[in-house]
């Protein structure tokens, strides 16, 4: 099963549980607009190479489309369409005034020189400029794209318009209107939703323990912020292996160690090695999968001992594992809720760009917390009302809001 097949199962369960109106269901089954573009780039050897790119706007019912741009050899139109639908749902769970979009180019960026990459980025945004814009469709970084690429795209689009348009795109560096708090935003969202889960099942964070799979952007911030509220971090891992400290570790010291040790966690003072598979099955209060998809499956779900799973990564748990975890009373905070901190602070970046008025990091975090707490509570209420898993409940919340917006606009 791939991640797209996987997303369809809880979605279908949500449609059935809430008896979603047939008209709404048929409108959201297709993106509103898709564009395929050819992108000729003069390569360093003087020859022209033509790349293919896509942009999909799934929905604009709740506001302009919002979603990243990925550079990957495996990008397809179908993938981009599905991911744009996912963004519609993620934005709606957080109740952001956005629909969903996604874009991509079929390319392995590691094969390009910096000049070629810049030329590709600029030509792509030029080619999709009829679709994107600060009030219509706002891109962001995704797999293999970053702040530098966003800056080139913002610049190219601004040249077309004749004035600076920072609100075109989010994930920019601070100097071009990026938001404070964006780097930590997804980890901060994992913290906020985990704190809500602690309250819900009456756990004092100071008595809690945690294991984090994937000590990258999301995982490292999650570990550090949970550590700050007193949670004991027992294990962390990355693609090169994991470490376990019976008495808990300082994730700030782990990050420093990692930087000086070529990205290898092994050998961190006071730790012993642990495999990624064993890490998932540790006796901990919270498990934060923040690396890859398809990690908790029907093979290992029965052996999971965590009371809470906060999904930092996209798609780490399969639907059949969800059922097993529900039976075991494990509280799973689904990806479209737990990792929505990233898109929430992207929304703040856009708001700041439109108003040309910038917030402090504290303001960003306070506003993020408010949005994510409300989203968490809405999902819990729906899970109780419809007696479904939190993942299905998150889709119910999203679809309910999208349907209400469509009805109010007279679309169905
Ligand atoms: P990242 O590249 O910064 O970190 C990923 C980490 O996972 C790295 O430490 C890597 O070594 C580790 N990893 C890779 N393979 C592994 C394996 N087999 N076992 C254990 N660890 C492994 O990426 P990120 O930005 O932290 O994203 C992680 C996940 O979170 C992805 O699923 C991503 O889609 C999702 N996500 C990220 C954001 C964001 O704002 N960065 C927002 C929403 C969702």
Supply the residues annotated as catalytic: 102
Alpha carbon nearest to ligand 1 atom 42, residue? 342
Kindly list the distances between the CA atom of residue 404 and the CA atoms of 25, 61, 160, in Å, as whole numbers in the listed order.
Answer: 12, 9, 36
Region 229-247 average pLDDT: 97
Query: For ligand 1, is residue 215 a contact (CB within 6 Å)?
Result: yes
Query: For ligand 1, is residue 222 a contact (CB within 6 Å)?
Result: no
Query: For ligand 1, is residue 56 a contact (CB within 6 Å)?
Result: no
CA of 184 to the centre of ligand 1 (A): 13
Region 149-175 average pLDDT: 98
pLDDT tens per residue, range 43-75 = 999 999 999 999 999 999 999 999 999 999 999
CA-based torsion, 21, 22, 25, 31: positive or negative: negative
pLDDT at 1 over 70: no
What was the pLDDT predicted at 271?
A: 98
CA of 6 to the centre of ligand 1 (A): 19
Query: For ligand 1, is residue 217 a contact (CB within 6 Å)?
Result: yes
pLDDT at 3 over 90: no
Question: Is residue 131 within 8 Å of residue 162, measured between CB atoms?
Answer: no
* Percent with pLDDT over 90 in the chain: 97
Give 3-state DSSP helix, strand, coil % of the chain, rounded to 5. Answer: 50, 20, 35
Region 108-130 average pLDDT: 98
What was the pLDDT predicted at 209?
A: 98
Query: For ligand 1, is residue 342 a contact (CB within 6 Å)?
Result: yes
CA of 192 to the centre of ligand 1 (A): 19
Q: Which atom of ligand 1 is nearest to the CA of 219?
A: 26
Arithmetic mean of pLDDT over the chain: 96
Alpha carbon nearest to ligand 1 atom 15, residue? 239
Distance CA 332, CA 316 (A): 11
- 137 DSSP β-pair partners: 65, 133
pLDDT tens per residue, range 325-381 = 999 999 999 999 999 999 999 999 999 999 999 999 999 999 999 999 999 999 999
Query: For ligand 1, is residue 339 a contact (CB within 6 Å)?
Result: yes
Collect all residues with Cβ–Cβ distance below 8 Å to 24 and sequence separation of at least 6. 399, 402, 403, 406, 407, 412
What was the pLDDT predicted at 45?
A: 98
DSSP letters, 77-126, are: HHHHHHHHHHHHHHHHHTT-S-EEEEEEEE--GGGS-HHHHHHHHHHHHH
Structure tokens at 259: 């930087």
Question: Nearest 5°: CA angle at 289, between 286 and 294?
Answer: 130
Collect all residues with Cβ–Cβ distance below 8 Å to 68 and sequence separation of at least 6. 102, 103, 139, 140, 141, 142, 143, 145, 171
Region 204-225 average pLDDT: 97
pLDDT tens per residue, range 297-333 = 999 999 999 999 999 999 999 999 999 999 999 999 9
pLDDT at 266 over 70: yes
Indicate the pLDDT class of residue 402, thresholds 50, 70 and 90. very high
Region 95-107 average pLDDT: 98
Structure tokens at 131: 């679709």
Distance CA 296, CA 281 (A): 10
CA of 212 to the centre of ligand 1 (A): 11
- Phi, psi dihedrals of residue 387, rounded to the nearest 5°: 50, 55
Alpha carbon nearest to ligand 1 atom 19, residue? 239
Region 77-105 average pLDDT: 96
DSSP state of 290: -
Distance CA 347, CA 245 (A): 38
What is this structure's pTM? 0.95
CA of 289 to the centre of ligand 1 (A): 9
């Amino acid at each position: 099963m791939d991640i797209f097949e996987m997303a369809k199962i809880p979605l279908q369960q949500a449609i059935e549980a809430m008896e979603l109106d047939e008209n709404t269901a048929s409108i959201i089954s297709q993106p509103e607009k898709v564009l395929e573009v050819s992108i000729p780039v003069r390569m360093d050897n003087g020859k022209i190479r033509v790349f293919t790119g896509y942009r999909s706007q799934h929905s604009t019912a709740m506001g302009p489309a919002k979603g990243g741009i990925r550079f990957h050899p495996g990008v397809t139109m179908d993938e981009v369409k599905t991911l744009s639908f996912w963004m519609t749902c993620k934005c709606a769970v957080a109740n952001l005034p956005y629909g969903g979009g996604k874009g991509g180019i079929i390319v392995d960026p590691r094969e390009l020189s910096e000049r070629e990459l810049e030329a590709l980025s600029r030509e792509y945004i030029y080619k999709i400029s009829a679709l994107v814009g600060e009030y219509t469709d706002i891109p962001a970084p995704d797999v293999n794209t970053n702040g530098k690429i966003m800056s080139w795209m913002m610049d190219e689009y601004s040249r077309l318009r004749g004035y600076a348009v920072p609100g075109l795109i989010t994930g920019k560096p601070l100097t071009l209107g990026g938001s404070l708090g964006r780097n930590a935003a997804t980890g901060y969202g994992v913290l906020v939703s985990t704190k809500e889960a602690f309250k819900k099942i009456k756990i004092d964070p100071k008595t809690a323990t945690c294991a984090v799979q994937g000590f990258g952007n999301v995982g490292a911030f999650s570990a550090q912020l949970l550590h700050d509220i007193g949670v004991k971090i027992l294990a962390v891992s990355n693609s090169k292996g994991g470490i376990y400290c019976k008495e808990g570790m300082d994730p700030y010291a782990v990050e420093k160690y990692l930087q000086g040790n070529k990205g290898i966690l092994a050998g961190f003072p006071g730790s012993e090695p642990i495999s990624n598979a064993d890490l998932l099955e540790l006796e901990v209060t919270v498990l934060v999968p923040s690396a890859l998809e398809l990690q908790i499956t029907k093979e290992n779900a029965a052996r999971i001992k965590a009371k809470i799973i906060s999904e930092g990564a996209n798609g780490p748990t399969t639907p059949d594992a969800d059922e097993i975890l529900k039976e075991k009373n494990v509280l799973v905070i689904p990806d479209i809720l737990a990792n929505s901190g990233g898109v929430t602070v992207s929304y703040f970046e856009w708001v700041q760009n439109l108003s040309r008025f910038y917030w402090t990091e504290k303001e960003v975090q306070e506003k993020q917390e408010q949005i994510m707490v409300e989203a968490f509570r809405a999902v819990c209420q729906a899970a109780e009302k419809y007696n479904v898993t939190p993942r299905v409940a998150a889709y119910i919340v999203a679809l309910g809001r999208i349907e209400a917006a469509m009805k109010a606009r007279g679309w169905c």
